[in-house]
């Protein structure tokens, strides 16, 4: 029987920065040096509906260098789902491990009880709240605004502060807690207050001198705007900044724009019925897509044309990514991609965590592709479908590098056999 305390952290690390390293260090300080740190991390696509800035292998290595002991991949349909689905799927995987004792997450609030109050209310699915939410959406409000307004009007508990739902880390924290309540997760939740500027502060709002805690979005914006590395490097551990700089230099950084050719080409041949089969797609958006699909040469321009008061840029991005990757409502309903635990990397010194999960988990733990072959067909199919989607990012990175370096770079599809398992001592 494993007696080691094991703490779970849910993350994207897109890219890995000082705040992420701080979170891992806080886990050690709170629970002891012998604590095992398990990360459930998005792979090559992330919750904003875009490719990850860096490959999952690089981000896994940064997580391990930053103090994590084991990194498990959150499958693509879950990783690029709504905040509720992203959080619920990650909590499902952590719960299935059977040996995770606690989870730790950052929030703007830092007040666990205040976050729990909202989570408990939302988990009850109060009829008055549901009616108010539906009315807000009918009146053209975006889901985040409609939800916040509905809580304010339907909840009579003065201790519940709907304004907490205005900030992204609070939103995810509440979704983690709500999922824990619904799943009766066998671990305890803890939060720490995030450091530094707000998540949505723009790249121009920092000087690069003494900015030790920038958000991942700020770093991505700095790169997109081709700002010099010193503007964001101090906000990242040296090992993470070095790997990011190398990827920038080789042209292997991905953005939503890099999906333009593949997705716009796909949209040319889609019918309304086909679009409606994909996860999160609505009839109104499907019609708008069909009307606008020939009016833009770049994907961000199309998303800008589709954006409206009730449909945010991020939500549209997720829906379009579901179309490109053929993530259907039926596939998500079946949820077979949540029937295994895929290891991206681990520390040899903490291999006992792998042993504990193998002994306690209700799901198979996969470290090598050949292990998949002995599993039921539904799990094999889900694993290989995720790997095929994953391969698109490898193709895009190789093609970008080839164009930037003006050299021939192999752009053959990546087979699951070749996925690199990151192992540190």
CA distance 249 to 106: 31
Tokens of 291: 């009307």
Chain position carrying tokens 């109050």: 117
232 neighbors 214 (Cβ within 8 angstroms):
yes
Tokens 């959150």, residue? 74
CB burial of residue 337 (10 Å; 0-12, 13-18, 19+) = buried
Residues 234, 223: Cα–Cα separation, whole Å: 14
Place of tokens 């040899």: 348
Which three-class secondary structure string do you get for the chain?
Answer: CCCCCEEEEEECCCCCCHHHHHHHHHHHHHHCCCCEEEEEEECCECCCCCECCCCHHHHHHHHHHCCCCEEEEECHHHHCCCHHHHHHHHHHHHHHCCCCCEEEEEECCCCHHHHHHHHHHHHCCCHHHHHHHHHHHHCCCCHHHHHHHHHHHHCCCCCCCHHHHHCHHHHHHHHHHHHHHHHCCCCEEEEEECCCCCCCCCHHHCCCCCCCCCCHHHHHHHHHCCCCHHHCHHHCCHHHHHHHHHHHHCCCCCCHHHHHHHHHHHHCCCCHHHHHCECCCCHHHHHHHHHHCCCCCCHHHHHHHHCCCCCCHHHHHHHHHHHHCCCEHHHHHHCHHHCCEEEEEEEHHHHHHHHHHHHHCCCCEECCHHHHHHCCHHHHHHHHHHHHHHHHHHHHHHHHHHHHHCCCCCCCCCCHHHCCCEEEC
CA distance 210 to 94: 36
Residues in the chain: 425
Which residues are CB-neighbours of 412 under 8 A, at least 6 positions away?
Answer: none
Q: Which pLDDT score, from 0 to 100, does residue 199 have?
A: 46
Q: What pLDDT does 157 receive?
A: 77
Q: Which of 368, 366, 372 is nearest to 342 (CA)?
A: 366
Euclidean distance between CA atoms 109 and 121, whole angstroms: 18
Q: Is the dihedral of CA 26, 40, 216, 59 positive or negative?
A: positive
User: Cβ neighbours of residue 362 under 8 Å, at least 6 residues apart?
Assistant: 96, 98
Structure token pair of residue 27 = 């886990």
Task: Note down pLDDT in tens along the chain; length 425 residues.
Answer: 456 799 999 999 999 999 999 999 999 999 999 999 999 999 999 999 999 999 999 999 999 999 999 999 999 999 999 999 999 999 999 999 999 999 999 999 999 999 999 999 999 988 998 999 889 888 888 888 888 888 888 887 777 888 898 899 999 999 999 999 999 999 999 999 987 555 444 444 555 555 678 999 999 999 999 999 988 999 999 999 999 999 999 999 999 999 999 999 999 999 999 999 999 999 999 999 999 999 999 999 999 999 988 888 999 999 999 999 999 999 999 999 999 999 999 999 998 999 999 999 999 999 998 899 999 999 999 999 999 999 898 889 888 888 877 665 554 555 555 568 999 98
Q: What is the C-alpha to C-alpha distance for residues 95 and 22, in angstroms, rounded to an integer? A: 24
| Tokens found for residue 32 | 């002891």
Residues 257, 301: Cα–Cα separation, whole Å: 9
- pTM listed for this prediction: 0.92
CA-only gyration radius of the chain, Å: 21
**Do residues 354 and 343 make contact, with C-beta atoms less than 8 angstroms apart?**
yes
Predicted confidence at residue 195, as pLDDT, reads 72
Angle between helices 143-154 and 127-138 (to 10 degrees): 140
């Amino acid at each position: 029987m494993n007696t080691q305390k094991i703490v779970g952290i849910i993350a994207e690390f897109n890219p890995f920065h000082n705040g992420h390293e701080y979170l891992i260090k806080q886990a050690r300080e709170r629970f002891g040096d012998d604590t095992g740190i398990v990360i459930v991390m998005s792979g090559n696509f992330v919750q904003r509906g875009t490719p990850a800035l860096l490959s999952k292998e690089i981000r896994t290595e940064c997580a391990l260098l930053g103090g994590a002991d084991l990194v498990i991949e959150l499958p693509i349909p879950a990783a690029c789902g709504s905040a509720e689905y992203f959080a619920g799927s990650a909590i499902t995987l952590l719960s299935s491990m059977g040996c995770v004792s606690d989870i730790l997450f950052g929030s703007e609030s830092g007040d666990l009880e205040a976050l729990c109050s909202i989570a408990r209310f939302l988990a009850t699915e109060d009829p008055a709240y549901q009616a108010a939410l539906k009315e807000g959406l009918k009146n053209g409000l975006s889901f985040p605004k409609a939800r916040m307004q509905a809580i304010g009007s339907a909840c009579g508990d003065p201790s519940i502060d709907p304004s907490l739902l205005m900030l992204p880390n609070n939103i995810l924290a509440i979704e983690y807690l709500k999922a824990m309540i619904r799943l009766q997760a066998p671990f305890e939740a803890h939060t720490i207050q995030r450091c530094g500027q707000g998540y949505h502060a723009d790249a121009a709002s920092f000087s690069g001198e003494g900015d030790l805690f920038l958000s991942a979005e700020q770093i991505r914006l700095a790169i997109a705007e081709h700002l010099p590395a010193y503007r964001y490097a101090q906000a990242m551990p040296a090992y993470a900044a070095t790997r990011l700089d190398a990827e920038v230099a080789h042209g292997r950084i991905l953005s939503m724009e890099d999906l333009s050719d593949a997705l716009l080409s796909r949209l040319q041949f889609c019918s309304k019925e086909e679009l409606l089969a994909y996860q999160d797609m609505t009839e109104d958006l499907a019609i708008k897509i069909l009307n606008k699909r020939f009016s833009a040469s770049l994907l961000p321009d199309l998303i800008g044309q589709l954006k409206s008061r009730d449909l945010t840029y991020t939500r549209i991005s997720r829906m379009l990514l579901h179309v490109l990757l053929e993530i259907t409502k039926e596939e998500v309903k079946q949820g077979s991609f949540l029937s295994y635990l895929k290891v991206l990397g681990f520390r040899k010194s903490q291999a006992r965590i792998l042993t504990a999960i193998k002994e306690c988990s209700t799901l198979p733990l996969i470290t090598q592709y050949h292990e998949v072959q002995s599993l039921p067909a539904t799990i094999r199919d889900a694993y290989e479908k995720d790997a095929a989607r994953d391969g698109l990012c490898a193709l895009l990175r190789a093609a970008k590098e080839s164009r930037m370096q003006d050299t021939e770079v192999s752009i053959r599809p990546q087979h699951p056999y070749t996925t690199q398992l990151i192992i540190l001592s």
